[in-house]
Amino acid sequence: MAITAVQNPTQIHRLPQSKYIDAVRWLPPLSPLSKLAVLAVFDCDADTPFLETHSLSIPSSSQTLTLTPHSRWTPPSRITSLAATAGSLHVVASTLSGSLHVLSSGHDSMVDDNCGSGSMMEPVLSVDEVGFHVGPICGVDVIESVCVSVGEDGRVNLVSFGDEGFRRVFDGNGLVGFNAVKWASPSEFVTGGYGFGLQWWDLRRPGGPVSQLKGYWSQGKTVGMIHSIDIHPSRKHTCLAGGSSGTIFAWDLRWQQQPIVLSGFGVGDAATPSFPESEVWEVQYDCYTKPSNISSSRVLPAMFGSEDGILAVVEQGEEPTELLAEPCAINSFDIDLQNPSVSTEQKPYQTQFLVQEFYIYVFVGFACCHTGCHM
Amino acid sequence: MSGDTNGGALVAYTEEANKAVVYPLRHGVKPPIYRLAISWSRGNTLRVSVMRKPSTSGDSGDEFEGKVVEVKLGNGDGDGEISDVQWRRIAYGSVSPFALLQSRRNSVSSLSKMSFNSSPYHVEWWEYVLEYSKDINSLLGNRQSPRSPLIEDPKAILKKIEKPTCLKAAWELMELFYADKLSQAWLPELLVDWLADYDNLLSGTQVTVHLKLLDFQKDLVSLQVIEDHPKFWEVVSSALAVGWLEIVVKLLRLHGSYQFDQLGNRETENGLVETVAVLISKMPRMRPELEAGKLGECFKAKPDFVKAWEKWRTQITKLECSPFWVQCAHHQTREGLRNMLQIMLGNTNSLCTATCHWIELYISHFLYVRPFTVGLESMYGLAQKCIQLKPMASSHRLMGLLIGILSENIEVVLAECSKGFGPWMVTHAIELLTAGNDQADTLLHEERHNLGGISMEKLHRLVYAQVLSSHALTWQIAPIYLTSCMQLGMGLLEILLYKQPVYNNQLLLKNIEICRLYELDSVSSNIMKIAGMYHWKHGKKGFGIFWLHQARDEVRLNRIAQKMFDSVGKSISDESFRQWEGLIQLLGSESKAVGGLEFLHKYRDFKKSLLQIHDGRTTEASLQAVESLISLMKNPSTPPRFWLPLLYDSLKLLNWQERPLLNSSETSLLLNKLQELSMAKLRPDFVEADLPPQALSSVRLALATNLGRSILEEQ
């Protein structure tokens, strides 16, 4: 593994991998000085997908960072979406063949039971029965042991950890399809699909979406899909979405029909190409960048990764700050919210984990460096 | 190309290619095998289908009737010095320097065209090439040792470094000769440095000075009297011959006469050792600078160097004739030191014994015999001489490459690159070869009829692109090499793009993104059409329409619309209305592109307002419904078979209690449509709507009543 370190407060560790990486999520740490992450990988040579957990030792002198394989599980087909619970050490994975799996990374209580490292990823629940989803599940999210899954078939299903089977919320019969889903509260979630449309669902009011952002609000020539949605726990009325053609926008339920565009269509004049130009695969609120203007009407800073290999932070009304520009796509990234972990220098670390098609990047930086820009 | 043995093959291949390799197949199909089919699968895998003759008895049970197995063909992986992961890193990392150089070439050549300059390239073109070369070089590994220990081991003569790769050594060799034009005057010295870095790579196939030093290093720890060891003087003179001066001086200072208890009775001996060490560290070098810790005195200008060189040699000769040698009692020291002086004076025999293979001998000649050697011709002559003196016991790919470069034969260089280092090397090294070299430029850029009208440079790019295309993790970077060859590359790129699967949305979008980058609009719309049909056929109607809509495929959308009408009539009941809502929304207001689907949009509006009518009172909704009905009936995109169901649905509008909602002209229009419908029914392709038998008569009655009422009202 080659590791290149950049000489500035934020260090980038680049760890080449032999397999294609589809998604990544942080898991609660094993110990104060090591972190745990789950990766959805695909071995193109053998045509086999894997779900792997890796532990990551945090370097004390920012010299060597090692990624140690921890456990591995083979899903029935390629993983399309990954979600992890904040507290309870569960990983939820959905597959291209339409099955959903809940796995316990169970490393806390049963360490060294029988075989040394002991902790294996155990599937605690698999839903793949007929009628669950037809074709790929595109998005999955979990909150308080309830998962919501959406698919190209237009179905929205709920799966609870304790129960067998699933609960159908909606069946679009393939007439509509969803790409992404995110819980807002234990009874509300937001879905997104093609045409840049978003739907707000409330389980207390069944039958269909409670509120909708109509697609095709952008009058541009191209339209595309939503790939990722994020909702900030402190501002549930606003959801952030990223999708095709470098589009990142926020949808505020209080001003329903007009999305706030952060990047992509409608920013600047139409003649200048937007930045980035290609698919935004993942977007998340960046809790480590201080907003330049703290007002409840402004959208909080967000980080995104795109097909053209750009990782950047974007803020409403400002030029995006580019953190990384790489020759291959950034498929997924995750910001570690389990902070601050404390290093020897007694400063909180910011750690981000991001994966390109076959690179893993780990950003390790100090939170104090993040008042201005990242690097 | 060069190799007559390869029968004029364009891409050099090794003799090993002719050896048969056996791959065992485990198919588990019971003989007799009836049929065997072999085809290429992904990458290096072959797909073999094995089939039995279908058994007629029917008692085959669990036995396989046939099986498909994949065989992965090993490609030997070169010498295995670079792992797959590292190769991929190099492949991805070299994309942007390559692309940058290409775009610079384009801008430079367009500039020179504008100024009618005869030279195709800018004068400083090689500076760009050098920058490119350095970028690529940095990808191939770092020469710096990881970290020097705080307390240096006094007996460690060789620094511990990561083993360099042959690929990097080869790249640096190419850079020295082709890209680094500023340093041409110091080429011999640069070669000295090169060998110091990479002599250990040659140790695999033959004895080298590096290997000797490594062996001696092991003995050194246990040695008490170093100068008595027979190997000591051999190692010191070998290191001197190849110019590793700091190692030589360090070894000399380990000499026993330096120890305090011996200094008294070995004064002369120590003096001689120290004089030689000082002479070595003062050796004049014709080069601009030396790295820190390296010994010698640098001279940039030739006259200064010649003066210093002559002076240095005079000092050595003087020392050789000095009377102190007689007083030196230690035999090995005396002989060893005198041998070193012979090396420094350039005695061919001494150099020959001290060095291990021809490159080392060659380097020693540069250092001690012909430091002024300039020009490839004389360098080649010298190399020939050295090979005669020290014939190659076994060939090494680096040696082959060096001879090729020195012989100024571009074809040999290309062949050696290709044979030893593969298509990546050839593709990227061509940029170095052609920098400021007219002969190479014409050879590589000339379009050749026998290559299908492309140049050799482009051929090699295509070969490399094919290698990239064959792997799922690298095909994404193949387009950059394919698009640099318009004649053949674009076709290959289209094939590559069409080959990618459409069932995974993410991969599909990545594919389309490549089309966008290379402005392949037609390819991308074809891919979208394929994806649209795939989704449509798999029941994901929404995604199907989305992709066809993106591709602006009106023909297919119209046909889809026809099909959808069938289900619309049945399924747009009040219940399933919500499901349609999403789809209709998807169609958006951009009705032009969606062709016949425009009907759905209007139908939705109609249904919606119809649902909102609760009682018999005239409201906004009822007027809205009438408006929708009329516009639906007027619209040519509404299929005739929907006329009757539409009218039947709007019976309550026609029989409005309060007042007639439709005026007389509107009602006549609807009546006319009904008339047309009865004509249309005679056509064979007419599909009867699923309505109660009295539907037609009740609609007719309602229309007639409404007409009467509206005429009365209008009067």
pLDDT tens-digit readout, A229-265: 999 888 888 899 998 888 898 988 887 677 888 887 6
Q: Are A9 and A348 in contact (CB under 8 A)?
A: no
pLDDT reported for residue B18 = 57
Question: Where residue B618 falls among pLDDT bands split at 50, 70, 90?
Answer: low
Chain-wide mean pLDDT for chain B? 80
Check CB contact under 8 Å for B513 and A279: yes
pLDDT reported for residue B113 = 62
Most distant CA pair in chain B, distance: 146
Q: List the strands of the sheet with A198-202, edge to edge.
A: A178-185, A188-193, A198-202, A211-213
Does residue A31 lie within any of the structural domains?
no
Nearest by CB to residue A197, choosing from B535, B550, B585, is B585
Query: Which residue in chain B has the smallest CA separation from A198?
Result: B582
Does residue A239 lie within any of the structural domains?
yes
A-proximal residues of B, 41-60, CB under 8 Å: 42-43
- State the DSSP string of A103-133: EE---SS-TTSSSTT----EEEEEE--TTS-
pLDDT reported for residue B62 = 56
pLDDT reported for residue A191 = 93
Does residue B594 have a pLDDT over 80? no
pLDDT reported for residue B690 = 67
Check CB contact under 8 Å for B473 and A207: no
B96 and A CB contact within 8 Å: yes
Q: Which chain A positions have a beta carbon within 8 Å of B86's beta carbon?
A: 2, 16
Question: Å from A259 to nearest chain B CA?
Answer: 17
Chain A to chain B Cβ contacts (< 8 Å): 128
Does residue A20 lie within any of the structural domains?
no
pLDDT reported for residue B132 = 92
Cis previous bond, B288, omega within 30: no
Q: Are A305 and A280 in contact (CB under 8 A)?
A: yes
Q: Which chain A positions have a beta carbon within 8 Å of B579's beta carbon?
A: 154, 171-173, 175-176
Name the DSSP letter for residue B246.
Answer: H
CATH of the domain at A333: 2.130.10.10
pLDDT reported for residue B218 = 83
Q: Are A354 and A304 in contact (CB under 8 A)?
A: no
Check CB contact under 8 Å for B542 and A328: no
Structural domain that includes position A250: 6-11+81-103+122-371
Q: Are A106 and A89 in contact (CB under 8 A)?
A: yes
Token pair for A310: 């750009």
Check CB contact under 8 Å for B477 and A44: no
Q: Are B345 and B317 in contact (CB under 8 A)?
A: yes
Check CB contact under 8 Å for A329 and B542: no
Check CB contact under 8 Å for A175 and B579: yes
Query: Which residue in chain A has the smallest CA separation from B551?
Result: A222
pLDDT digits (tens, 9 = 90+) for B471-513: 878 888 899 999 888 888 888 999 889 888 888 888 888 888 8
Nearest by CB to residue B579, choosing from A80, A172, A214, is A172
Query: Which residue in chain B has the smallest CA separation from A277?
Result: B513
pLDDT reported for residue A145 = 84
Does residue A307 lie within any of the structural domains?
yes
Check CB contact under 8 Å for B539 and A208: no
pLDDT reported for residue A342 = 32
Q: Are B48 and B71 in contact (CB under 8 A)?
A: yes
pLDDT reported for residue A114 = 40
**Interface mutation target, options A67, A80, A175, A331, chain B, most CBs of B under 10 Å:** A175
Buried b (16+ CB within 10 A) or exposed e, B391-423: eeeeebbbbbbbbbbbbbbbbbbbbbbbbbbbb
What is the complex's ipTM, to 2 decimals?
0.82
pLDDT digits (tens, 9 = 90+) for B196-233: 888 888 887 788 888 888 888 888 878 777 888 888 89
B477 and A CB contact within 8 Å: yes
Nearest by CB to residue A44, choosing from B472, B588, B590, is B472
Does residue A221 lie within any of the structural domains?
yes
Q: Which chain B positions have a beta carbon within 8 Å of A152's beta carbon?
A: 505, 535, 540, 543
Measured CA to CA, the distance from residue A244 to residue A330 in angstroms comes to 14
Does residue B6 have a pLDDT over 60? no
B680 vs B317: which has the higher pLDDT: B317
Check CB contact under 8 Å for B582 and A135: no
Q: What is the pTM of this model?
A: 0.78
Amino acid identity for residue B429 in this structure? A
Does residue A344 lie within any of the structural domains?
yes
Which of these, B104, B515, B93, B522, lies nearest to A307 by C-alpha position?
B515
Check CB contact under 8 Å for A44 and B513: no
Check CB contact under 8 Å for A96 and B541: no
Residues 6+ apart with CB under 8 A from B670: B633, B647, B662, B703
B108 and A CB contact within 8 Å: no
Torsion of CA B398, B402, B407, B412, to 10 degrees: 30
**What pLDDT tens digit does each residue of chain A (375 aa) get?**
333 333 345 667 777 777 888 888 888 777 776 778 888 888 877 778 999 888 877 665 545 677 788 888 999 999 999 998 877 778 999 999 999 999 887 654 444 444 444 457 788 888 888 889 888 899 999 988 899 999 988 899 999 888 878 888 888 777 788 999 999 999 999 999 887 788 899 999 887 888 888 765 545 556 678 999 999 888 888 899 998 888 898 988 887 677 888 887 655 444 445 567 788 999 988 877 777 766 767 788 888 888 888 888 888 877 788 887 877 788 888 887 665 433 323 233 345 555 555 556 665 543 322 222 222
B615 vs B85: which has the higher pLDDT: B85
Check CB contact under 8 Å for B585 and A215: yes
Q: Give burial (CB, 10 Å; 0-12/13-18/19+) of A241.
A: buried
**Which of B20-34, B348-362, B582-596 comes out lowest in average pLDDT?**
B582-596
pLDDT reported for residue A368 = 25
Position of tokens 């775009």?
B103
Which of these, A99, A86, A72, lies nearest to A27 by C-alpha position?
A86
Q: Which chain B positions have a beta carbon within 8 Å of A136's beta carbon?
A: 503-505
Does residue A142 lie within any of the structural domains?
yes
**Interface mutation target, options A67, A173, A214, A277, chain B, most CBs of B under 10 Å:** A173
Name the DSSP letter for residue A233.
Answer: T
Does residue A59 lie within any of the structural domains?
no
Q: Which chain B positions have a beta carbon within 8 Å of A216's beta carbon?
A: 585, 588-590
Instruction: Tell me how many domains chain A contains.
Output: 1
A167: three-class secondary structure by DSSP: strand
Q: Are B651 and B699 in contact (CB under 8 A)?
A: yes
**Interface mutation target, options B72, B85, B139, B144, chain A, most CBs of A under 10 Å:** B85
pLDDT digits (tens, 9 = 90+) for B270-326: 888 899 999 999 999 888 888 877 888 888 888 899 999 999 999 999 998 888 888
pLDDT reported for residue B11 = 47
pLDDT reported for residue B481 = 92
Question: Could you write out the three-class secondary structure of B134-157?
Answer: HHHHHHCCCCCCCCCCCCCCCCCC
Name the DSSP letter for residue B16.
Answer: G
Query: Average of pLDDT values for B440-463?
Result: 85
B302 vs B576: which has the higher pLDDT: B302
A23 vs B65: which has the higher pLDDT: A23
Question: Å from A290 to nearest chain B CA?
Answer: 32
Check CB contact under 8 Å for B85 and A16: yes
**Which of B77-91, B347-361, B700-714 comes out lowest in average pLDDT?**
B77-91
Q: Helix crossing, B376-389 with B358-368: angle to 10°? A: 120
